[in-house]
């Protein structure tokens, strides 16, 4: 393998962090340069004692079978691989004899798969699994030697680093997906502003408030009289709030304001300074401000099922509990539900007992806490 081919193989290993086909091409290059019939990255599950093929390059199509998660028969040498250090190779040849292979059935393995030799390197060892580069030569070809192993030593550190980077990348991607899903499911609006007022991050519930808090040029500030039925009036200019929470000379890192709609609705807005080390945009410099918008939404649809599953409330008890926690009195609730006063009292007593509450206020507090976690947006 010349320098250009070596560099291309290394490049493919790192490209494989995001593009599985690139790893396959690099494995095919290692297979060809070593005169092998097969090359594969094997993951040995040390807890369940089985081997999975992560990536493999085969001679027929010169392409790999990516992420084949089916269990495969392990290389016979792997049970003895605990003696290897990371970066070490083991070599088994068809002509080596039982004394070297340490397993009588090893010859049958070579015969069944029409191989002359197997060579593998321990890439990495973790508490629950090990990763190997495994190479196999077909029958009729000369078996591997130590020189063959040394000729591939240059690739092992790059393989190890590429695998580690890929694991970290997948972990970050998984955490990002979970974080985004969690953010989108919050029952209140969330917006992260830069110090200049630019929105850097928002969830669906917070998106409408970006322009309400920081309107586009010429649209009129949110704290001015609303120009139409969709306007909101702030108890304090939002630009002033951002300046205040970002001012290092003050200790007011959290502030709250109120927004009043033309229909009389009241919305609470809380702004909090985040760590200056947080950077969500390469062009963003300065303090980050987290803004939470609480619009006082009603009881979430999911609460009905949760009250049933957690507290064993019947449908009738759940309906009564929902009405009472809106501030409605018991007589009005009876009229709306079409039940007798005695029935409502019996149901309410059962609700208090099952939820370990004693008053409507305590019951309302319980449902509010559940709603904070369980509110479902319309798109779910």
- Write down the H helix ranges in 273-314: 302-311
Q: What is the CATH number of the domain that holds 348?
A: 1.10.10.10
269 is a domain residue? yes
Q: What is the CATH number of the domain that holds 246?
A: 3.30.450
Same domain, 132 and 193: no
Quick one: pLDDT at residue 90? 83
Q: Percent of the chain at pLDDT above 70?
A: 73
169, 204, 239: which is the final residue of a domain? 169
**What mean pLDDT do residues 262-274 have?**
84
178 is a domain residue? no
pLDDT above 70: residue 364: yes
198-253, pLDDT tens digit by residue?
898 899 989 999 989 987 543 444 444 444 335 788 988 999 888 888 887 766 66
How many other C-beta atoms are found inside a 10 Å radius of the C-beta of residue 121? 23
pLDDT above 90: residue 353: yes
Quick one: pLDDT at residue 238? 92
Same domain, 78 and 204: no
More confident residue, 231 or 374: 231
pLDDT above 90: residue 343: yes
CA 28/CA 200 separation, integer angstroms: 43
> What is the three-class DSSP state of 241?
helix
Quick one: pLDDT at residue 219? 44
Give Cα 74 to chain centroid, integer Å: 31
174 is a domain residue? no
If 0-12 CB within 10 Å is exposed, 13-18 middle and 19+ buried, where does residue 58 land?
middle
Quick one: pLDDT at residue 73? 44
CA 266/CA 18 separation, integer angstroms: 47
Q: Please choose, from the candidates 360, 375, 277, 280, the residue with its C-alpha nearest in 3D space to the C-alpha of residue 320.
A: 360
Same domain, 285 and 306: no
Same domain, 226 and 163: no
Same domain, 80 and 42: yes
Quick one: pLDDT at residue 202? 92
Asked if 215 and 221 touch (Cβ cutoff 8 Å), the reply is yes
CA distances from 218 to 207, 221, 222, 233, 307 (A): 20, 8, 12, 17, 49
CA 212/CA 244 separation, integer angstroms: 19
7 is a domain residue? yes
CA 214/CA 221 separation, integer angstroms: 7
User: How many structural domains are present in the chain?
Assistant: 3
350 is a domain residue? yes
176 is a domain residue? no
294, 314, 339: which is the final residue of a domain? 294
44 is a domain residue? yes
Same domain, 19 and 37: yes
Same domain, 349 and 241: no
Same domain, 28 and 118: yes
Task: Take residue 75 and report the two structure tokens written for it.
Answer: 């290389």
Same domain, 286 and 306: no
120 is a domain residue? yes
Same domain, 206 and 144: no
Task: Name the residue range of residue 362's domain.
Answer: 302-374
pTM above 0.95, yes or no: no
Quick one: pLDDT at residue 95? 61
Quick one: pLDDT at residue 340? 92
Quick one: pLDDT at residue 144? 87
- Write down the H helix ranges in 265-340: 302-311, 315-324, 330-337
pLDDT above 60: residue 145: yes
pLDDT above 70: residue 163: yes
Same domain, 129 and 201: no
CA distances from 18 to 57, 157, 166 (A): 18, 19, 7
Asked if 232 and 222 touch (Cβ cutoff 8 Å), the reply is yes
Selection from 29-33, 269-273, 282-286, 340-344 with the highest mean pLDDT: 340-344
Least confident of 103-107, 200-204, 351-355: 103-107
**What mean pLDDT do residues 14-22 have?**
77
């Amino acid at each position: 393998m010349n320098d250009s081919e070596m560099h291309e193989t290394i490049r493919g290993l790192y490209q494989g962090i995001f593009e599985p086909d690139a790893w396959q091409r690099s494995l095919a290059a290692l297979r060809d340069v070593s005169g092998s019939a097969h090359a594969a990255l094997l993951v040995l599950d040390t807890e369940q004692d089985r081997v999975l093929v992560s990536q493999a390059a085969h001679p027929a199509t010169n392409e790999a079978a990516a992420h084949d998660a089916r269990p495969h028969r392990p290389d016979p040498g792997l049970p003895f691989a605990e003696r290897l250090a990371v970066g070490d190779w083991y070599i088994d040849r068809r002509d080596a004899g039982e004394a070297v292979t340490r397993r009588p059935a090893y010859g049958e393995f070579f015969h069944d798969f029409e191989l002359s030799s197997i060579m593998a390197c321990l890439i990495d060892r973790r508490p629950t699994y090990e990763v190997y580069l495994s190479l196999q030569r077909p029958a009729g070809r000369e078996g591997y030697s130590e020189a063959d192993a040394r000729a591939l030593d240059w690739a092992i550190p790059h393989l190890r680093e590429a695998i580690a980077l890929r694991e970290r990348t997948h972990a970050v991607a998984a955490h990002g997906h979970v974080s985004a899903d969690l953010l989108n499911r919050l029952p209140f609006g969330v917006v992260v502003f830069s110090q200049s007022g630019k929105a850097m991050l928002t969830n669906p519930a917070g998106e409408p408030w970006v322009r309400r808090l920081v309107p586009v040029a010429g649209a009129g500030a949110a704290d001015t009289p609303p120009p139409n039925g969709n306007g909101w009036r702030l108890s304090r200019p939002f630009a002033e709030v951002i300046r205040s929470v970002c001012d290092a000379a003050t200790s007011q890192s959290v502030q709250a304001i109120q927004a009043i709609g033309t229909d009389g609705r009241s919305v609470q807005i809380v702004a909090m300074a985040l760590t200056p080390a947080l950077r969500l945009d390469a062009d963003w410099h300065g303090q980050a401000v987290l803004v939470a918008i609480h619009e006082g939404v009603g009881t979430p649809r999911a609460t009905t099922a949760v009250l049933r599953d957690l507290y064993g409330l019947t449908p009738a008890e759940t309906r009564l509990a929902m009405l009472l926690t809106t501030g409605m009195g018991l007589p009005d609730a009876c009229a709306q539900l079409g039940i007798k006063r005695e029935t409502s009292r019996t149901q309410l007593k059962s609700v208090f007992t099952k939820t370990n509450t004693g008053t409507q206020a305590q019951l309302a507090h319980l449902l509010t806490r559940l709603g904070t976690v369980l509110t479902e947006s319309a798109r779910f």
